[in-house]
C-alpha cells in the first residue's frame, strides 16, 4: 500500500506497520465525535508495555529519520508526553490523564481515511481523559457531553 499523504492517515499507517497498539486521542478524537477545533498536533495513546513502547520508538524513527535525539522507553515513563515537534507534530503518551490504553478498549471506535484504519478513543473515555482543570479540556467535556446526550436522544 502506498504511503498516505494525509498526516493522520500517514501516522496511523506507520504505527500499524510496526504493530503498535495505539489510539488517536485529544482534539483529533474530538473531531471524529463531531467536536471540531483547531489543532496542529496528533495525540496518540499507546499501550504501556515495554515491547509496544519499543515498537512506537521504531515507528517514530521511521516517520522522522532525521531526528537527532535517541528515544528510549524510559522517556515514556519519565514524561507525561513525548513530543515530536516536526511535520506532522505528534504527542505520544502511555496515559491520557487517568485513562490508559487498556481502559479505553471498552469504547474505542475506528474510521478509515485513505484506506488506513484510524482507531480513536470513544466518547466516554475521551470525556474521562479530559477531566482536568485545563480550560480547553473543560470546554471539550462540555461539548462532548452534549454530543453524547444528543446521540442518546436520537
Tens of pLDDT along the chain (154 residues) come to 677 888 999 999 999 999 999 999 999 999 999 999 988 899 999 999 999 999 999 999 999 999 988 999 999 999 999 999 999 999 999 999 999 999 999 999 999 999 999 999 999 999 999 999 999 999 999 999 999 999 888 7
Q: Is the pTM of this model over 0.85?
A: yes
Given CATH 3.40.50.300, say whether it is the number of domain 7-147.
Answer: no
Count H helices and E strands in the chain, helices first. Answer: 6, 6
Q: How many CB atoms lie within 10 A of CB 136?
A: 13
Write out the three cell numbers for 147: 454530543
Q: How far is CA 38 from CA 35, 42, 76, 101, 135, in A?
A: 10, 11, 26, 24, 15
How large is the C-alpha radius of gyration of the chain?
15
Q: How far apart are CA 101 and CA 89, in angstroms?
A: 21
pLDDT value of position 4: 82
Torsion of CA 70, 28, 105, 130, to 10 degrees: 90
Q: How many CB atoms lie within 10 A of CB 77?
A: 11
What phi and psi, each to the nearest 5 degrees, are found at residue 62?
-75, -40
- Residue where the block lists cell 462532548: 144
Q: How many CB atoms lie within 10 A of CB 27?
A: 18
Residue 144 exposed, middle or buried by CB count within 10 Å (0-12, 13-18, 19+): buried
Amino acid at each position: 500500500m502506498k504511503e498516505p499523504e494525509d498526516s493522520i492517515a500517514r501516522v496511523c499507517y506507520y504505527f500499524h506497520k510496526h504493530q503498535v497498539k495505539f489510539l488517536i486521542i485529544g482534539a483529533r478524537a474530538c473531531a471524529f465525535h463531531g467536536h471540531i477545533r483547531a489543532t496542529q498536533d496528533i495525540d496518540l495513546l499507546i499501550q504501556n508495555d515495554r515491547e509496544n513502547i519499543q515498537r512506537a520508538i521504531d515507528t517514530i524513527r521511521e516517520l522522522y529519520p532525521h531526528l537527532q535525539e535517541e528515544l528510549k522507553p524510559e522517556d515514556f515513563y519519565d514524561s507525561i508526553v513525548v513530543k515530536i515537534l516536526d511535520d506532522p507534530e505528534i504527542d505520544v503518551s502511555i496515559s491520557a490523564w487517568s485513562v490508559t490504553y487498556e481502559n479505553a478498549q471498552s469504547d474505542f471506535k475506528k474510521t478509515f481515511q485513505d484506506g488506513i484504519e484510524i482507531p480513536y478513543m470513544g466518547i466516554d473515555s475521551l470525556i474521562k481523559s479530559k477531566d482536568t482543570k485545563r480550560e480547553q479540556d473543560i470546554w471539550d467535556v462540555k461539548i462532548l457531553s452534549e454530543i453524547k446526550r444528543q446521540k442518546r436522544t436520537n
